[in-house]
Amino acid sequence: MTEPRKVLILGALSAIAEETARILAAKGDALMLVARNAERLGAVAADLAVRGASRVLWVQADLTKVDDPFAFTADARLRLGGLDAPPRTSANCGRSWR
Q: 37-93, pLDDT tens digit by residue?
A: 999 999 999 999 999 999 999 999 988 888 887 788 899 999 999 999 665 444 455
Q: For residue 13, give the 3-state DSSP assignment.
A: coil
The answer as to whether 71 is a domain residue is: yes
Of 49, 61, 82, the C-alpha closest to 10 is 61
Q: What's the confidence (pLDDT) of residue 40?
A: 97
Distances (CA, A) of 83 to 4, 74, 78: 11, 9, 9
The H or E element containing residue 45 is helix 38-50
CA distance 97 to 62: 14
Q: What's the confidence (pLDDT) of residue 87?
A: 54
**Number of domains, the chain:** 1
CATH of the domain at 70: 3.40.50.720
Residue 80 in contact with residue 6, Cβ under 8 Å?
A: yes
pLDDT at 24 over 50: yes
Residues counted in the chain: 98
The answer as to whether 96 is a domain residue is: no
The answer as to whether 52 is a domain residue is: yes
The answer as to whether 55 is a domain residue is: yes
Which residue segment(s) compose the domain that 40 sits in? 6-86
The answer as to whether 11 is a domain residue is: yes
The answer as to whether 98 is a domain residue is: no
The answer as to whether 53 is a domain residue is: yes
pLDDT at 95 over 80: no
Q: What's the confidence (pLDDT) of residue 67?
A: 83
The answer as to whether 24 is a domain residue is: yes
